[in-house]
Structure 1
């Protein structure tokens, strides 16, 4: 800075600091809404009312998606929950001591809650409550190396189910105990994130954290989840504006060129929409894309949407992966061979970008419509053709 009187220096420094703050924030530092919208985790009442009308009218693709859900094991009224005090999950769920049981009971609770909302048969709400009550009366911890991931996967579905039952159905005496479970057993494992793991970990951890914070109306936790998400998304999806190299996850210590390339599965050529896990496989890439879209969707419902900030990354990520699900990759991408299997993860992002914003996405359209009805990945994504296909609300 050129020489100038001390008061002027302080003034200029202060102005520059303010400009820096405003240039890096597109949503308030306090991101939580003044009052929470319920139900408001991934789906809202207007969205579900739209779906109910389509299902009742037997319109497609909603009716086929509803029938798919209704025929699944997750919608069974004879389901017996399998809670455990300690769920132990090692790498790739080995050992699997309650891992599958917990994830699938959580998906079942969400499935049953959706079934109740759409068909108004109270037996489904009652069964969802039975499953959630069984777990909230039992679980105390998650252990082993996959504990944060397992906690997040299950936490996503628990929050979605609990939100519908508490705030739409309403007759749930043990809802407070379930909230205590989420606060004391789930949040401590996920709210701090995991900067050094593959990106899908921290993204789903933030998705679960956000959903739980909405259910609990916990503004502090909501704000922390938003802050971490806003730095993690740019470290997962590359844009040309990032420069020669992708952004590194803050706090990871991954900061040299060699370290970044290793972290990006040894991919050294970067193109818009490439993700940190594309050259690992499209399945794990899809997990990250799903969480990016689901998180943004919840913030939209809560009135302070993060879609404008991340939509270019989401659009290019869905489009890039969809393209190479449909055609052979070039030699510069992953050595000319990719492991496909994106999964049922594109409906939420595609609906916002295409239905609501009118953005043309040809590869994403072919992939998304060609895989309808998109069902569940049996981990944390479920029934998004039903809830989000062509949903303008």
Structure 2
């Protein structure tokens, strides 16, 4: 069953969720406006900083809870600080050309880049909570090393690799640039790196499995905030809306899932093949559910990250079909991750689990903020707390998002 739409009365923000019906009159990923116009959510007139993934208010809330020793935030912080990503002795490992083949084979700088980017974000968070300048300086050291070195990403996984690392870099940079009281002399060079090395690799999207383009657009949205590039935001948001509608199925979509026009999935057979051989469609199913939950988790996570960054920037995607698809995708996958029997009609009765630490952002937004009852997602979220990192682009979301209404 899909997640129940029952309003959860205990929370202090039982806001009414405006459901955007997805009908044949909608172009996939766009909202209809009066008079038949179509648009994606345009960039804000003024960008909010820090504003990628986590706001200043959320950072302040997390800091207050950690310093008070409150759970689950203190436990989440301790987990983060004990990780290799928080080490003050970490040595950056930049490369001029990062070469990543399928499944990172060859792996010439792929792991190094992703982990240095996560470390930059981790130490930026540690700086904010502790106000220990050593953490800010470590974050700067990592960002400076890469901005002085990298020129390109190559081989078949280059777009995805760029998306993974490019999702973490701006989260770190936003915190340091807009909260650190010391000097970051090379912040402009870092911005040039994002504009010239990262953005061109991801902004045009991908026709691979949906998690690719969703992660790439997450990175493009975050980069556009740091660069205050409204054109990049608008381009990335249009692709994100189209891809999200084509990644998570809702019964209101009709007999078949929505598609991305550039993929030319214009027959039932092509759509079924792209959906990993699944020929029956249920609300909350994703394009990669029958592949495995690991990649499905990547896609769901990026949907939540873009929605959260948009919220911080004053654009509410949670009360559009994006939020509904996110809510249903979380609930559908969560119940099987928790152990519910898999029917024979779903992926031939067999699923490859491993959803990862990806529920906190969507759960906080849809349950705590909007008041939806999300029993499956709640149970999985509580079981996984404190959530850590997937070592790619998701990190420390119990700390920053757990029950955080700021």
TM-score by structure 1 length? 0.93
- Looking at structure 2, the residues matched to 88 and 384 of structure 1 have their Cα atoms a distance apart, in angstroms, of 29
Match of 1:331 among 323, 329, 344: 344
Q: How big is each residue's C-alpha offset from its partner over 1:272-303, in whole Å with a ceiling of 9 and x where there is no partner? A: 00000000000100000000000000000000
1:157/1:89 Cα in 2 relative to 1: closer, same or farther (>3 Å)? same
Q: Is the 8 A contact 2:41 2:315 kept in 1?
A: no
Larger deviation, residues 336-345 vs 248-257: 248-257
Mark the CA change 1:90 to 1:58 in structure 2 (over 3 Å): closer, same or farther: same
- 2:367 paired with 1:354: yes
Match of 1:190 among 195, 202, 207: 202
Partner of 2:34: 22
What's the counterpart of residue 13 of structure 2?
none
Q: SS of the counterpart of 2:153?
A: strand
Matched, 1:370 2:375: no
Match of 1:305 among 316, 330, 335: 316
Question: How far apart, CA to CA, are the structure 2 residues paired with 1:33 and 1:315?
Answer: 25
Question: Which of 316, 321, 330 is 1:318 aligned to?
Answer: 330
Aligned-pair CA distance for 1:381:
0.3
* Distance in 2 between residues matched to 1:25 and 1:241, nearest whole Å: 21
State the partner residue of 2:358.
Answer: 345
CA RMSD of the aligned region, Å?
Answer: 1.3
Which deviations, in whole Å up to 9, do the C-alpha atoms of 1:186-227 show, x marking residues without a partner?
A: 000000100x20000000000000000000000000111111
1:213 counterpart residue number: 224
Tell me by how many angstroms 1:252 deviates.
0.9
The answer as to whether partners of 2:41 and 2:238 remain within 8 angstroms in 1 is no
Distance 1:240 1:366, change over 3 A: same
Partner residue, 1:66:
77
C-alpha displacement of 1:358: 1.2
Aligned with 1:51 (options 62, 66, 89): 62
1:11 maps to what in 2? none
Residue equivalent to 2:394: 381
Pair member with larger Rg: 1
- Mapping of residues 1-393 of structure 1, within 5 Å: 21-22=33-34, 29=40, 31-169=42-180, 171-194=183-206, 196-309=207-320, 310-326=322-338, 327-393=340-406
- 3-state DSSP of counterpart to 1:88: strand
1:10 aligns with none
- Aligned mates of 2:389, 2:89 — CA distance in 1: 20
Relative distance call for 1:329 and 1:372 in structure 2 (3 A) is same
Report how many aligned residue pairs link the two structures: 373
Cα distance, 1:84 vs structure 2? 0.2
* Partner secondary structure for residue 142 of structure 1: strand
- TM-score w.r.t. the length of structure 2 is 0.90
Compare the two structures and name the one with the higher helix fraction. 1
SS at 1:87 equivalent = strand
Comparing both chains, which one has the higher relative contact order based on Cα–Cα distances under 8 Å and sequence gaps of 6 or more? 2
Distance of aligned partners of 1:23 and 1:107 in 2 relative to their CA distance in 1, 3 Å threshold: farther
For residue 22 of structure 1, report the CA deviation from its aligned partner: 3.0
Shift of 1:250: 2.4
After the TM superposition, list the runs of 4 or more consecutive aligned residues in structure 1 that deviate by more than 2 angstroms: 19-26
* Equivalent position of 1:16 in the other structure: none
State how far apart, in whole Å, the 1-side matches of 2:72 and 2:314 are: 28
The CA deviation string for residues 75-107 of structure 1, in whole angstroms up to 9 with x for no partner, is 000000000000000000000000000000000
Note the C-alpha offset of 1:253. 1.2
Instruction: Give the direction of change, closer, same or farther, for the CA distance of 1:241–1:23 in structure 2 (3 Å limit).
Output: farther
Q: CA deviation at 1:23?
A: 7.3
Which residues of structure 2 form unaligned runs of 5+? 1-30
Matched residues in 2 for 1:32 and 1:65: separation?
Answer: 33
In the TM superposition, what is the alpha-carbon distance from 1:312 to its structure 2 partner?
1.0
Distance apart, 1:249 and its partner CA: 1.5
Q: What is the CA-CA distance between 1:30 and the residue it aligns to? A: 6.1
User: In 2, distance between residues paired with 1:221 and 1:24?
Assistant: 25
Distance 2:363 2:357 in 1: 12
